[in-house]
């Protein structure tokens, strides 16, 4: 990759935000690892929703291929009535309390997903819950993404996906079910208690941007700055969040948030400065020392 002429930064071949079939991605963990090899990645993190199974599955094979895997997870949390996504890095993947909490959160998300499907049925959309379950990981959290995918496979998607989400699944949607099982502060504590570093994910997707400054008041919470946003505002958003992170001296991370072939950014395609990983490493070391 070319060096940035203005800053002298050379992006590394890293991607710290990847999803697999363990949550709502369309590639298995081993397929993601193969894609990482093809992309020339040296460091990656699988950040499946409420699960670390993907990280564990590829650990040995990644080491043999010379690729470092930073343990990762993504949690759905809520703050002031808004859904926020919270990434965690460097957790102890053998921590029993952490694993138990993830299992509880997966179950809570699945209950919300099933209630959402029932609401769609009441609205005349004949989606069977069994069809949603059949495309999800047997031990994973079922999300809106699974519901949309099942609707698509069944020919039941009455609008383009984003419009359908807005009409039916968003906070004001007709089939929306409130998720209250994991507040932002609870999510932060879950990650920190397992020796991890909590990071606010893709801040540009937070519906109410005024909340971000409140979220970042929590000690040791970082920000995902380098992200594959869609549309013409991508570079402006990245620079804005980078400025915020620099002003607050926050840990910065980045990644593609890759879920599958439809994604515009493939693994490793979002430029991330080479200082991101060592800075994250230092934060993880400090997090483990403060447990």
Banded model confidence at residue 11, pLDDT cuts 50, 70, 90: very low
- pLDDT at residue 136 above 70? yes
Do β-strands 222-227 and 43-46 pair in parallel, antiparallel, or remain unpaired? Answer: unpaired
Nearest to 55 by CA among 36, 40, 76, 82: 36
Report the mean per-residue pLDDT for the chain: 94
pLDDT digits (tens, 9 = 90+) for 55-89: 999 999 999 999 999 999 999 999 998 999 999 99
pLDDT digits (tens, 9 = 90+) for 108-124: 999 999 999 999 999 99
Whole-angstrom CA distances from 95 to 87, 120, 283 are: 17, 38, 19
- pLDDT at residue 154 above 90? yes
The average pLDDT across 277-284 equals 98
Question: What is the model's pLDDT at position 4?
Answer: 44
Banded model confidence at residue 237, pLDDT cuts 50, 70, 90: very high
- pLDDT at residue 32 above 80? yes
- pLDDT at residue 145 above 60? yes
Banded model confidence at residue 291, pLDDT cuts 50, 70, 90: confident
- 191-228 burial by CB neighbour count: b if 16+ within 10 A, else e? bbbbbbbbbbbbbbebeeeebbeebbeeebbbbbbbbb
- pLDDT at residue 284 above 60? yes
Structural domains of the chain ordered from first start: 13-102+180-289 (3.20.20.140), 103-169 (no CATH)
| Cβ(19)–Cβ(256) below 8 Å | no
Contacts of residue 18, Cβ cutoff 8 Å, sequence gap at least 6: 25, 32, 36, 44, 45, 46, 47, 255, 256, 257, 258, 267
Question: What is the model's pLDDT at position 77?
Answer: 98
Instruction: At 259, list the tokens.
Output: 């879920």
């Amino acid at each position: 990759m070319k060096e940035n002429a203005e800053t002298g930064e050379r992006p590394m071949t890293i991607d710290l935000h990847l999803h697999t079939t363990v949550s709502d991605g369309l590639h298995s963990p081993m397929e993601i690892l193969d894609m990482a090899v093809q992309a020339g990645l040296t460091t990656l993190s699988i950040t499946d929703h409420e699960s670390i199974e993907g990280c564990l599955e590829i650990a040995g094979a990644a080491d043999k291929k010379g690729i470092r895997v930073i343990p990762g997870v993504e949690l759905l949390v809520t703050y002031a009535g808004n859904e926020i996504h919270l990434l965690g890095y460097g957790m102890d993947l053998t921590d029993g309390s952490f694993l138990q909490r993830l299992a509880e959160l997966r179950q809570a998300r699945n209950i919300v997903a099933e209630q959402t499907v029932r609401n769609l049925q009441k609205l005349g959309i004949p989606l069977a819950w069994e069809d949603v379950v059949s495309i999800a990981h047997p031990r994973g959290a079922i999300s809106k993404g699974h519901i949309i995918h099942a609707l698509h496979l069944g020919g039941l998607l009455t609008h383009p996906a984003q419009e359908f989400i807005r009409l039916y699944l968003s906070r004001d949607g007709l089939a929306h079910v409130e998720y209250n099982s994991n507040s932002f502060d609870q999510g932060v504590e879950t990650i920190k208690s397992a020796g991890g570093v909590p990071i606010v994910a893709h801040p540009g997707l937070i519906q109410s941007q005024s909340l971000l400054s409140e979220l970042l008041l929590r000690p040791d919470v970082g920000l995902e700055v380098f992200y594959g946003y869609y549309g013409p505002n991508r570079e402006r958003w990245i620079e804005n969040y980078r400025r915020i992170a620099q002003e607050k001296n926050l840990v910065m991370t980045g990644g593609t948030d890759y879920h599958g072939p439809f994604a515009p950014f493939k693994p490793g395609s979002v430029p991330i400065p080479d200082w991101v990983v060592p800075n994250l490493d230092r934060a993880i070391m400090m997090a483990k020392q403060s447990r």
